[in-house]
A and B are shown apart, each in its own frame.
Chain A
Amino acid sequence: MNDDEQIGSATLSATGATAPVAPVVSAATAAQAPAAATAGADAPIMSVAAAIETLFDYLKNVIYYPQRAQLDPESLPADFVTFAQGLLYFGNSVAEMRALADDIARGRLEGSPTSPGNELASDLKSLQATLKHLAWQINQVAKGDYKQRVSFLGELSEAVNNMIVQLGERTASLEQTAETLRENNDMLIALAEHIDQWIIVLDRASGETLYSNRETGETLNDPVEEDRLRAWLIERALNYNASSDERLIKEISFDEAGPWDVPGPNRQFLQITLNPFTWQEHKALTFLITDITEEKRRREELESVAFFDALTGAYSRHYGMNLLEKWLAQGECFAICFVDMDNLKYINDSFGHEAGDEYILSVSNKLQSGARATAMGGTGLGSETEASASGSATEVPASGDARTDETATDAEVAGPVCVISEIVLSRLGGDEFMLLCPGWSKQEAECWLEDVRSQLVAESGDECQRSISYGVVQADGKAGHSGSELLAQADELMYEYKRSRKMERRATLP
């Protein structure tokens, strides 16, 4: 009820009726009361029946048509004034209650204020208070406070408290899980940051970097290469095709593949492993990039020791024998030459090991250069055309430095393999060599070795004759003998040759 209405009620109550809103009556208002009562007395007197009907209509309107509910107590007979005031108070209380109920129904919990003392609205206000508290309670839960409880609200308390307890337990469980995940994630991040490899994950649709455990520049020696490497990785990611040419894991050595095989002090070899996967709905490609430069250098050193003779640069016995067995297993046709240097012991004993080494090198070089010239220059030998046509008739390496990367790479991957167009020289022991001549006949090999022998003899000084003895066995591509057996046969032929030469020399002695 507003102030005007209360003043009006107070005025009417001054006529003698009980005032329902007495606390707001002011002295000034009370002083005006007799005049108002007098004015009412001058108005036409409403009949009792009409007054009852007026009051009934007002009550009806209060219940059903609140907008029309109007009542002027002064227009009623004096005996009805107090009752009318009571009805007005009731109507006002009901209107306030309705407004508050409407606010609550619409979730407006601040609601319309009610007049002090409106006891009809008190239960609604209690409900309003409960809902406000529940709203606060829910907000507390939303911000993670599960300590509050709703008490003395019957089933509502039970339901809300049960919800809070369960949410609290679930949140605690989730937090525990999240903490565990966080710890695991931290460990993985720390692990990824401390491993030597560079891990970079790219989106296969956009090329966007989804994860990287370090900057590009931290992996490359040459910062200039950074942009090129990143562009290459993106290009690989965008064009990756898991269903066709790409395998699940593919390795790329940059000494073979990329623009990063740059000779010079910054030359760097990277090995890249690709692993496609789906991550958070992204089709992603992981690049695991390992700097293998140092590893490669060490491996080359080991291979040099294992596969090559340190003095001559010819292949080692181990390499040569493996290659021999391999060619035999493949059914290749080639000549196996066992070469023995004559008089090496005598030179060593007489002139020292330096002279002996020089002698070994001279024989080795002749065999290698002769073989090279034969293969490249063409001597009418059967292997020449085939070797040249294949485009891979490369030189027999004279030393570790001279060997081709192709040969070295094959050896790195699988040990000795058949490079069938090459003539391969191996040093078997102190004064023994083995030549494997693919496509050569026994006669062709013997002819050439005899030529080498003649050159050595011709170049010998007066102190001691330098020459070689040799035996050649033909491998005809048919199974039957092992490499060791064939080499033993060649060795035997070599001794026969050596003996026959000695016999010849003795026969020619005066």
Chain B
Amino acid sequence: MDNVFKSNEPVTHNVFRWENLGDIKEGRGDLGEEMPVLVYRLMQFTMLDVLTKNYGSDQANQLFRDAGYLAGTELARQSLDLTADLDSFIAQLQKTLEDLKIGILRMEAFDPESGELVLTVGQDLDCSGLPITNETVCDYDEGFIAGILEAYTGKHYKVREIDCWASGDRVCRFKGVVE
């Protein structure tokens, strides 16, 4: 028999909804809303490992990118003023990423005509401090940034990591172009 009292509740957590993130403060009354970066990376890189073994590294990276895109889009819609002018939007994005301890966003270049931009993320949640493997590993960030930019501009962005901690740099540098 269906529970009519729960008819509006989510039927599955496999489909993302912002509300499904739940009431963290209530749920973690003693432990609080924060956790070590270690735990985040533990989940991320174990998941990457499993996905890579099942689908290969390219597909695994793309899946991470897609997940990042979804996260970026949702975060932008929930936490950012998408009607603000560009300068204000960049300023609030920078502050939001710092407040959420995702990383230190710094703009390096922006072409208002083409929409092309270059930005860096320092002390990146995903990669800063990783062993150097001469790889760019921030696929999730690529999608995350693309999702935010698309939510704001309404244009589809392709974001690729140029420099990464894992490739021997101290900051991750991303280049975004409008597709």
* Chain A residues at the B interface, C-beta cutoff of 8 Å: 23, 116-119, 121-123, 125-126, 129-130, 132-133, 135-137, 140, 145, 147-152
Chain B contacts for A122, CB-based, 8 A: 168-170
B123 at the interface (CB under 8 A from A): yes
Distance between Cα atoms of A492 and B112 in the complex (Å) = 103
Q: Is the interface of A mostly helix, strand, loop or mixed?
A: helix
Chain A contacts for B123, CB-based, 8 A: 152
Distance between Cα atoms of A126 and B134 in the complex (Å) = 16
Could you say which of A132, A147, A149 contacts B108, with CB atoms under 8 Å apart?
A132
* Interface contact A125-B87, CB-CB below 8 Å: no
When each residue 97-111 of chain B gets 1 if its CB lies under 8 Å from chain A and 0 otherwise, what string results? 010000010111110
Distance between Cα atoms of A227 and B11 in the complex (Å) = 89
Listed by A's residue number, 27 A-B pairs whose Cβ atoms lie within 8 Å are A23-B134, A116-B167, A116-B168, A117-B132, A117-B168, A118-B168, A122-B170, A125-B170, A126-B169, A126-B171, A129-B106, A129-B122, A133-B106, A133-B107, A133-B120, A136-B106, A136-B108, A136-B109, A140-B87, A147-B91, A148-B87, A148-B91, A148-B94, A150-B106, A151-B98, A151-B104, A152-B123
* Interface contact A117-B167, CB-CB below 8 Å: yes
Distance between Cα atoms of A152 and B121 in the complex (Å) = 12
Chain B, 116-169, CB within 8 A of any chain A CB: 118, 120, 122-123, 132, 134, 163, 167-169
Can you name the residue of chain B whose Cβ is closest to the Cβ of A121? B168
B178 at the interface (CB under 8 A from A): no
Chain B contacts for A151, CB-based, 8 A: 94, 98, 104
Chain B contacts for A136, CB-based, 8 A: 106-110
Distance between Cα atoms of A147 and B95 in the complex (Å) = 11
B173 at the interface (CB under 8 A from A): yes
B90 at the interface (CB under 8 A from A): yes
Report the interface size class on chain B. Answer: 20 to 34
Could you say which of B88, B94, B171 contacts A149, with CB atoms under 8 Å apart?
B94
- Chain B nearest CB from A96 CB (Å) reads 11
* Interface contact B170-A126, CB-CB below 8 Å: yes
Contacts across chains A and B counted by CB atoms under 8 Å = 69
* Interface contact B91-A149, CB-CB below 8 Å: yes
Distance between Cα atoms of A123 and B168 in the complex (Å) = 9
* Interface contact B134-A117, CB-CB below 8 Å: yes
Distance between Cα atoms of A492 and B39 in the complex (Å) = 131
- Chain B nearest CB from A151 CB (Å) reads 6
Chain B, 38-70, CB within 8 A of any chain A CB: none
Q: Known: A119-B132, A136-B107, A147-B87. Is A129-B171 also a contact (CB below 8 A)?
A: yes
Distance between Cα atoms of A132 and B109 in the complex (Å) = 8
Can you name the residue of chain B whose Cβ is closest to the Cβ of A21? B134
- Chain B nearest CB from A350 CB (Å) reads 100
Could you say which of B107, B132, B163 contacts A125, with CB atoms under 8 Å apart?
B163
* Interface contact A152-B91, CB-CB below 8 Å: no
Distance between Cα atoms of A117 and B132 in the complex (Å) = 7
Distance between Cα atoms of A140 and B163 in the complex (Å) = 24
* Interface contact A152-B122, CB-CB below 8 Å: yes
Distance between Cα atoms of A137 and B87 in the complex (Å) = 11
Can you name the residue of chain A whose Cβ is closest to the Cβ of B107? A136
- Chain A nearest CB from B163 CB (Å) reads 7
5 tightest Cβ-Cβ pairs between the two chains A and B: A126-B170, A133-B106, A145-B87, A147-B91, A132-B108
Chain B contacts for A129, CB-based, 8 A: 106, 108, 120, 122, 170-171, 173
* Interface contact B88-A119, CB-CB below 8 Å: no
* Interface contact A123-B107, CB-CB below 8 Å: no
Chain B contacts for A117, CB-based, 8 A: 132, 134, 167-168
